[in-house]
Structures are given as C-alpha cells and as structure tokens.
C-alpha cells in the first residue's frame, strides 16, 4: 500500500470551545476535544504522557502573548480574586455541571469546607481557560495548550485527593482503614505493568467462550492472518446472501458478540441473516511487515470463503472502525478490477475515511512526531495494544482514569464487571506495517482524492464504489466524530443511509433492542452538510440493529432453507467458535 501527498494544514478542524466563565462547564468542555485515529496511533507509539507537556515553543508563545496583554491578565486575576473572596464568605454561586459525577455526593454541597474547595477549583479552572482564550494563539499552539490544561485541571480536582473526597472518607469509616491497604495494593498492581492506568474491570470478570463470544458457530477457515467463523442459523430460512463482518484491527472481534442479549451477531442470526466473522490474529514481531495490503487480501479471502460455503455469488459487508478503512479500500480495489458486483451491500460503523474534517487535533502532530512513532513500532515490529489502551483512557480522563482512581484506590473497591470494558482491556498488537500504513493514509488524508492511495496495486477511488451503503455513527463519539463519519456518505458513489446512534464510540454499536433510552436518528436524504442532515433528521426509538436488518434484508437476496451443517466439503469445520486466535495474548 502506498500513499502520496501531504495533508493540508492550513484549515484547523472544528473543535468545541470552552464555555464562558460562570456557566459551570468550563472544565468539562475543556475535555470535550476529540482525537482521531491518526493521533491515537502516533501517541500510542510515543507514549501518551508526551502529550501532557506542551513543547517549549508553545509555552513560550503562550507566555509572550500574555505578557503583551498585561491588562487582560490583570483582569482575569482580579476576577479570580473577587470570586475567591465570595467563596471564602460563602456567597459564591459557582456550581459544578449537573453532569459532573465527581461532585455528585451531597457532601460537596453540604459541607462548607468541601464546597469551598470545589468552588475554588472550578473558579481557577475557568480563569485558566479564560487566559488561554485571551492569548489568542494560532490553532496548533492553542490545541496543545488546551490538551495539557485539560489534564492538569482534571488531575488537580479535589475529588482526587484522599482526605477531601467524601467517598474515600466514608470508606475509611466503613472498613476501618482497610480500603487504604486494598487501594494501595491495586495501585501497585496497575503501575507495574502497562497500561499504567487504573483497571476498569477485574481480569477474571468474564471468560471468553463462556460469558462472552458464545453465539454458536464454527471456524471454517484459518490463515496466518485470520480465522473465519460461520455462525449457526437459528431460523428455518435465511437470506441467501451472507454477511461478512470485518471487526477493528484493534482489540478482539467479540465487541460484536458480547454477552447474550447484547450481541450484535446473535441479533443478526436471530433475524435470519447468514453471518461470517473475521477474527484477526494477534500479531507479534514475526508479522511486522503485514500492512494494509495484507489485511485487504484477508477480507477478499473471507469473502471468497463465504461464497464457496453458501453457494452465493455475492456477499454483504459490515465493517467497524479501522476495519472500515480496510474494507473501503478493498471495495475500491474491486471497483477498479471489475469485481464490485461481488458485493451486494456495504456497511460502515464508526468509521472515518476523511480526516480533514474529522475534528481531530492533528495540529498536535508535527512531522517529527509521526516519524518517531513509526520508527518506534518498526524497531519493535508492532504497536503494543496496552499503549493503545492507555491512550484511549486519557481521551476521557475523568471517566476512564480519575473515576477509577477514586473507586479502586481511594475507596479500595473492585471495578464493576462490564463486558465492554473487559473487551477494551483484552488488547491486541498492531503490526508495524499496518501502523505505518494507517498513519500514512490518515495524515495524508489519502482517501479523499482518487489515486492518492492504493490497495493491492490498484488506485483507490471511493467514488467508484457504487454499492448501497449503511453508515452509522455515535453522537458522542470522541474518536470518530459523527460529522466525520457522515462524510463517508459523500465519498462513496452509491445510495447511502446514514444513522446517528446514541452514545459514544463503542456504546453506539452495542445498542441492543429493549433499552428504553436508546434512540437513533435518520433522514430521507444525505446532503453535503451534516448539519443540514441533522436538521432534517427524525428520531426513532430503540436500537438501529433492527433497522439495519430491514435495510440489509432488501439487498441480501431471497429467503432460502437454512443450512443444517456449517462449512463445506472444501472448507470443513476446524473447530467451534470462538476459535483459537481470540485467545492469543
């Protein structure tokens, strides 16, 4: 796989701006900036803590700008001093955002000392954000400063301090201090091995093949790169065209097959869809050269196997996140080689193909950072999945770091058992070749113009991919912002249905029917502007899973008798699902 051209750097991506002082959300919104896959992959190689400290030149730019505006700095300090005075005498009206769970305990509002401490923290955070606003830095330096500021503000929250957090103090009373011993033991265990963040789930909370990934099926193909699972039908008839699912190359495939009742695969099978699943191998240094071409060929091999087993001349594809990038390029390859008729329909879930409008803070990535990241994975042969997990945690520090700091260490409690977080902790490596290729495509934004990238030797032109597509996104996704996912509707050449689901990156996918809070939005047309789409969209109650099954059902052929056996004479069953690759560590 090759890419050419550099990504334009003259237009900053859209990003949320901090709220004005006084509305109670400054420190919350400071943490709402998103990070794209490109930045995640760079940070994972270099180490996420590198991002916490802005470059010297950025700090110098901030200092120089503020020195030139002494009246502005003085005004901010005066406002802060006046607010601190009101806090001291109990007349301040500062309150945390209702969504801020850190200060949800009644003690933060009822205890005078704790209330004043919390208000002082919020006031200082607002003043700091205000100074960055006043500095009026160029967008690259501004992003760097805000990212660092977010982490400093979150880390210094009084809720993280043992003798101030009411939950920690109550735990001391309830346990006679044993919580401190348990918390210290957990802290040491987490620090000694990556990812060096608080554990979000106990390592024995679930067992793959017993609690998770239990939809009945069998491995019908095994290559060096992947295993192919065919799931056993549970209906008397099935659609003749099989669905081949392409999971992310980060983490294991069973995000699509979590606990029963929460499994995407289980729902599809129950709806009468033939389903095949790619289970990627967890690579090591021996597989360093596997790049986008390797994984693209794997998708083609899986498609061919599904066709041979079912006797269908077509397949449908559904791909997730990074798997969607690979799948889009494979579809372009098929279009270039007159093979696109093999695909009946395609679906892309939380997948970004156009990074220029992804809302990412790619300003934080200078060429030296990109080179350093790819060189580190090249020397090792792979990108460590634990480092990726650490980066993901720092995307949402209050939810994914400090929340567990309080629970695990200050209260000394085990984290709750949650299947998504168990899957998230079950990390995989990424080959150095794939790491390099993904960064090249993202930084160069190579999928936006025909011929700037290739797949298996053919130029990639996504506009030539004229199969019908179903594109989903999460309204609160911090990794793949929905507006960026929406751009896929403009890049592909066929008719596209766009669905905006509730929640964030993973929760928007794991959205089973029956949840009364679940909704999704759809619209009759897909105009170029995502905001115009949103204005015309209407909200549907429930999960998008049945909607996708209805959409796919119109494109997946006629109903035929369900097969009574799995595999075929040419591709016999090699073992029961979930296979062997899913257990690789």
Q: Provide the CATH number for the domain around residue 298.
A: 3.40.50.1820
Q: In angstroms, rounded to a whole number, what is the distance separating the alpha carbons of residues 154 and 524? A: 42
- Do 136 and 202 reside in the same domain of the chain? no
Q: In angstroms, rounded to a whole number, what is the distance separating the alpha carbons of residues 139 and 137? A: 6
- Do 435 and 311 reside in the same domain of the chain? no
Residue 569 lies in a domain: yes
Rounded (to 5) percent helix, strand, coil in the chain: 45, 15, 40
Most confident of 40-49, 143-152, 409-418, 476-485: 409-418
Residues 52 and 151 sit within 8 Å (Cβ to Cβ): yes
Residues 475 and 508 sit within 8 Å (Cβ to Cβ): yes
- What residues contact residue 379 under an 8 Å CB cut-off, 6+ apart? none
Q: With 60 as the cut, is the pLDDT of residue 197 above it?
A: yes
Q: With 60 as the cut, is the pLDDT of residue 157 above it?
A: yes
> Of all helices (H) and strands (E), which one includes residue 73?
helix 70-88
- Do 395 and 543 reside in the same domain of the chain? no
Q: What DSSP string describes 379-415?
A: HHSEE-HHHHHHHHHHHSHIIIIIHHIIIIIIS-PPP
Q: In angstroms, rounded to a whole number, what is the distance separating the alpha carbons of residues 249 and 326? A: 9
User: Which band of pLDDT confidence, cut at 50, 70 and 90, is reported for residue 363?
Assistant: very low
Last residue of a domain, one of 387, 414, 444: 444
User: Which band of pLDDT confidence, cut at 50, 70 and 90, is reported for residue 372?
Assistant: confident
3 vs 272: which has the higher pLDDT: 272
User: Residue 375 has what pLDDT?
Assistant: 87
Q: With 50 as the cut, is the pLDDT of residue 58 above it?
A: yes
Residue 541 lies in a domain: yes
- Do 337 and 318 reside in the same domain of the chain? yes
User: Which band of pLDDT confidence, cut at 50, 70 and 90, is reported for residue 11?
Assistant: very low
Q: In angstroms, rounded to a whole number, what is the distance separating the alpha carbons of residues 369 and 77? A: 36
Last residue of a domain, one of 398, 419, 444: 444
129-153 mean pLDDT? 86
Collapsed DSSP state (helix, strand, coil) of residue 54: coil
Tokens (6 digits) for 338: 């007159």
Residue 18 lies in a domain: no
User: Which band of pLDDT confidence, cut at 50, 70 and 90, is reported for residue 49?
Assistant: low
100-127 mean pLDDT? 96
Residues 573 and 225 sit within 8 Å (Cβ to Cβ): no
- What residues contact residue 444 under an 8 Å CB cut-off, 6+ apart? 3, 4, 5, 6, 7, 452, 453
- Helix intervals (H) in 241-399: 264-270, 292-310, 322-336, 367-380, 385-395, 397
370-382 mean pLDDT? 86
Q: In angstroms, rounded to a whole number, what is the distance separating the alpha carbons of residues 351 and 355? A: 10
Phi, psi of 430 (to 5 degrees): -120, 130
Q: In angstroms, rounded to a whole number, what is the distance separating the alpha carbons of residues 528 and 543? A: 26
Residue 394 lies in a domain: yes
Closest by Cα among 465, 459, 472, 452 to 491? 465
Average pLDDT over all residues of the chain: 88
Catalytic-role residue among 44, 219, 238, 321? 321
388-395 mean pLDDT? 80
User: Residue 4 has what pLDDT?
Assistant: 36
Collapsed DSSP state (helix, strand, coil) of residue 554: coil
Residue 32 lies in a domain: no
Collapsed DSSP state (helix, strand, coil) of residue 145: helix
User: Residue 165 has what pLDDT?
Assistant: 96
Cβ neighbours of 584 (radius 10 Å): 14
Residue 452 lies in a domain: no
What number of helices (H) and strands (E) belong to the chain?
22, 17
Closest by Cα among 515, 407, 432, 398 to 151? 398
- Do 341 and 367 reside in the same domain of the chain? no
Q: In angstroms, rounded to a whole number, what is the distance separating the alpha carbons of residues 426 and 254? A: 10
Q: With 80 as the cut, is the pLDDT of residue 576 above it?
A: yes
456-479 mean pLDDT? 94
Last residue of a domain, one of 115, 132, 156: 156
Cβ neighbours of 23 (radius 10 Å): 12
Question: Whole domain around residue 184: which residue ranges?
Answer: 165-208+361-444
306-330 mean pLDDT? 97
- Do 143 and 190 reside in the same domain of the chain? no
Residue-wise pLDDT for 69-84, tens only, equals 999 999 999 999 999 9
User: Residue 301 has what pLDDT?
Assistant: 98
- Do 329 and 373 reside in the same domain of the chain? no
User: Which band of pLDDT confidence, cut at 50, 70 and 90, is reported for residue 396?
Assistant: confident
The share of the chain scoring above pLDDT 70, in percent, equals: 90
How many distinct structural domains can be found in the chain?
3
Collapsed DSSP state (helix, strand, coil) of residue 344: strand
User: Residue 228 has what pLDDT?
Assistant: 98
- Do 338 and 464 reside in the same domain of the chain? yes
Tokens (6 digits) for 50: 């590198």
- Do 491 and 536 reside in the same domain of the chain? yes
- Do 264 and 342 reside in the same domain of the chain? yes
Residue 24 lies in a domain: no
Ranking 18-22, 182-186, 506-510 by mean pLDDT, the lowest is: 18-22
Ranking 9-23, 247-261, 286-300, 312-326 by mean pLDDT, the lowest is: 9-23
- Do 285 and 352 reside in the same domain of the chain? yes
Q: With 60 as the cut, is the pLDDT of residue 6 above it?
A: no
Closest by Cα among 256, 357, 318, 328 to 36? 357
Measured CA angle at 96 (ends 90, 101), to 5 deg: 130
Residue 374 lies in a domain: yes
User: Residue 96 has what pLDDT?
Assistant: 94
Distances from the Cα of 322 to the Cα of 41, 351, 393, 536, angstroms: 11, 7, 18, 29
- Do 406 and 350 reside in the same domain of the chain? no
User: Residue 534 has what pLDDT?
Assistant: 96
Query: What torsion, rounded to 10 degrees, do the Cα atoms 540, 546, 549, 551 define?
Result: -20
Catalytic residue list contains 480: no
């Amino acid at each position: 796989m090759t890419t050419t051209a550099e990504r334009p750097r003259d237009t900053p991506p859209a990003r949320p701006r901090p709220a004005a002082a006084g509305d109670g959300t400054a420190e919350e919104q400071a943490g709402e900036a998103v990070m794209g896959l490109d930045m995640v992959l760079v940070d994972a190689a270099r180490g996420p803590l590198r991002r916490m400290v802005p470059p010297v030149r950025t700090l110098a730019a901030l200092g120089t700008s503020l020195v030139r505006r002494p009246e502005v700095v003085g005004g901010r300090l005066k406002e802060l001093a006046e607010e601190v005075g009101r806090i001291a005498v109990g007349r301040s009206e500062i309150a945390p955002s209702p969504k801020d769970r850190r200060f949800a305990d009644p003690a933060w509002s009822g205890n005078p000392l704790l209330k004043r401490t919390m208000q002082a923290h919020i006031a200082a955070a607002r003043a700091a954000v205000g100074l960055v606003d006043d500095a009026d830095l160029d967008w690259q330096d501004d992003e760097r400063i805000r990212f660092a500021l977010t982490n400093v503000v979150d880390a210094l929250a009084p809720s993280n301090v043992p003798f101030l957090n009411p939950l920690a103090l109550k735990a001391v009373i309830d346990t006679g201090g044993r919580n401190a011993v348990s918390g210290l033991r957990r802290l040491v265990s987490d620090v000694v091995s990556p990812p060096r963040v608080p554990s979000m789930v106990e390592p024995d909370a679930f067992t793959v093949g017993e609690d998770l990934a239990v939809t009945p099926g069998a491995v019908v193909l095994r290559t060096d790169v992947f295993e192919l699972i065919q799931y056993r039908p549970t209906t008397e008839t099935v659609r003749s065209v099989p669905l081949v699912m392409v999971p992310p190359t980060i983490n294991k495939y069973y995000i699509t097959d979590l606990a029963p009742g929460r499994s995407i695969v289980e729902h599809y099978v129950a709806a009468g869809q033939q389903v095949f699943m790619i289970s990627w191998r967890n690579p090591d240094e021996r597989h360093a050269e596997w790049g986008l071409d390797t994984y693209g060929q794997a998708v083609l091999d899986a498609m061919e196997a599904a066709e041979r087993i079912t006797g269908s001349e077509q397949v449908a594809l559904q791909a997730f996140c990074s798997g969607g990038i690979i799948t889009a390029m494979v579809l372009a390859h098929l279009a270039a080689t007159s093979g696109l008729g093999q695909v009946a329909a395609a679906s892309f879930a939380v997948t970004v193909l156009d990074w220029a409008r992804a809302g990412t803070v790619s300003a934080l990535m200078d060429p030296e950072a990109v080179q350093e990241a790819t060189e580190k994975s090249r020397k090792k042969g792979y990108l460590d999945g634990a480092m990726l997990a650490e980066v993901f945690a720092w995307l949402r520090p209050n939810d994914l770091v400090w929340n567990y700091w309080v629970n695990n260490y200050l209260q000394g409690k085990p984290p709750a058992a949650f299947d998504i977080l168990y899957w998230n902790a079950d990390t995989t490596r990424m080959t150095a070749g794939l790491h390099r290729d993904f960064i090249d495509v993202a930084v160069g934004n190579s999928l936006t113009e025909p011929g700037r990238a290739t797949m298996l030797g053919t130029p990639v032109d996504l506009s030539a991919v004229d199969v019908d597509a179903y594109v989903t996104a999460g309204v609160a996704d911090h990794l793949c912002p929905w507006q960026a996912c929406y751009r896929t509707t403009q890049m592909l050449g066929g008719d596209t249905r766009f669905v905006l689901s509730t929640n964030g990156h993973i929760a928007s996918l794991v959205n089973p029917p029956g949840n009364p809070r679940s909704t999704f939005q759809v619209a009759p047309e897909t105009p170029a502007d995502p905001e115009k789409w949103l204005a015309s969209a209407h909200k549907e109650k429930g999960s998008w899973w049945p909607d996708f099954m209805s959409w796919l059902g119109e494109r997946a052929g006629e109903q035929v008798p369900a097969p009574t056996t799995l595999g075929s004479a040419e591709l016999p069953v090699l073992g029961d699902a979930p296979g062997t690759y899913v257990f690789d560590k």
